[in-house]
Amino acid sequence: MLIRSKRGWELPESDATDERIFHSRRNLIKGLASGAVLAASMPVFGKTTENENLNYSFSVPVKNNRYKLDRELTPHKLATTYNNFYEFGSHKQISADAQKLKTHPWMITIDGLVEEKIKINAHELFKHFNFEERVYRFRCVEAWSMALPWIGFPLAELVKMAKPTSDAKYLVMRSFQDPKIASGQRQFWYPWPYLEALTVAEAKNELAFIATGVYGKPIPNQMGAPLRLVVPWKYGFKSIKSIISFTFTKIRPKTFWETIQPAEYGFWANVNPLVSHPRWSQKTERPLGKTTRIKTLLYNGYEEYVAYMYKNLVTENLFR
């Protein structure tokens, strides 16, 4: 018998398939309807005339050793070649295609329930913050995981700068939209642009991080250049890439995955090994590059930092 051996990152997830779903007619129609509504209200990401992506410079990051890892860092090669970025296709090998994204200039809007609306170029925005490096675990809902050295600044700093009004309960984030370069966005049944949200309390939590770099360098396109969210106690799909807007709202929005498959992907999506995904167990995970699985931790090991935020939310479905 011939068994072709594959390397780790080529392996299809064995006990977890993926976030892609096989669209029933109903889903297709639903997707179409919400897509049309969103398209009408979304700003389209402006085209640039630049040919080269400029590397964003960030002030020399200070190492923040407060957050400890219980595992090795994921090899750079794996983290940069095994990615989820549906704008460039619903498979993991999007790193080459993602290079088409022009990340300079990159306009960011901060609006909604704020004292004053801000429209600013990413490199100008970045000047307002002190950069640091911190290591985090990262757990995809598909049951693979990583450990990464991010560079960036706490999302709380951006919230402070934005000065949300007391009515603001949620922070809504949207990714770029440019179907000319992002082939996945021509799959019109998805509700583009990718949208995620946190409560303002979560956005102010010390762990919520905006990454502009990783492994000592500016973040590569496939990982969400020029800025992406990292919320390590939640499943990976919450950590939205290539953000163009931060909007403070009173009302909880429907997120990208919640719109597509509400029974599987909710608003909270906190990691919990005891709450299975409808199609697979969440008890264990496969660190990229490893063949043996390890136990998944409650809140991905960050319970002491985040559990207080969920104490009174007894009626909410916190773990999907």
Residue 214 — left, alpha, or beta (φ > 0 → left; ψ -120 to 50 → alpha)?
beta
102, 137, 241, 277: which one contacts ligand MTE (CB under 6 A)? 241
User: In this structure, what DSSP letter does residue 55 have?
Assistant: P
Could you tell me if 162 and 125 are in contact, meaning their C-beta atoms sit under 8 angstroms apart? no
Answer yes or no whether residue 286 interacts with ligand MTE by CB under 6 A.
no
16, 30, 84, 268: which one contacts ligand MTE (CB under 6 A)? 84
> Which range binds Mo ion by CB under 5 A, 49-57, 88-96, 140-148, 212-220?
140-148
Integer Cα distance of 253 and 251 in angstroms: 6
Answer yes or no whether residue 242 interacts with ligand MTE by CB under 6 A.
yes
User: In this structure, what DSSP letter does residue 266 have?
Assistant: -
Integer Cα distance of 108 and 227 in angstroms: 10
Integer Cα distance of 279 and 65 in angstroms: 37
Partner whose footprint covers residue 240, from Mo ion, ligand MTE, none (CB < 5 to 8 Å by kind)? ligand MTE
Q: Output 103 or 242, the one with its CB closest to ligand MTE.
A: 242
Answer yes or no whether residue 87 interacts with ligand MTE by CB under 6 A.
yes
Least Cβ distance, residue 236 to ligand MTE (angstroms): 3
Site for ligand MTE in 174-203 (CB under 6 A): 175, 194
Answer yes or no whether residue 140 interacts with Mo ion by CB under 5 A.
yes
- For 28, list phi and psi in degrees, rounded to 5: -60, -45
Least Cβ distance, residue 57 to ligand MTE (angstroms): 21
Answer yes or no whether residue 236 interacts with Mo ion by CB under 5 A.
yes
Integer Cα distance of 184 and 88 in angstroms: 5
151, 240, 260, 271: which one contacts ligand MTE (CB under 6 A)? 240
How many CB atoms are located within 10 Å of the residue 223 CB?
22
Integer Cα distance of 23 and 16 in angstroms: 18
> Which range binds ligand MTE by CB under 6 A, 32-40, 77-85, 97-105, 297-305?
77-85
- Which parts of this chain interact with ligand MTE (CB under 6 A)? 19, 83-87, 140, 175, 194, 223, 236-237, 239-242
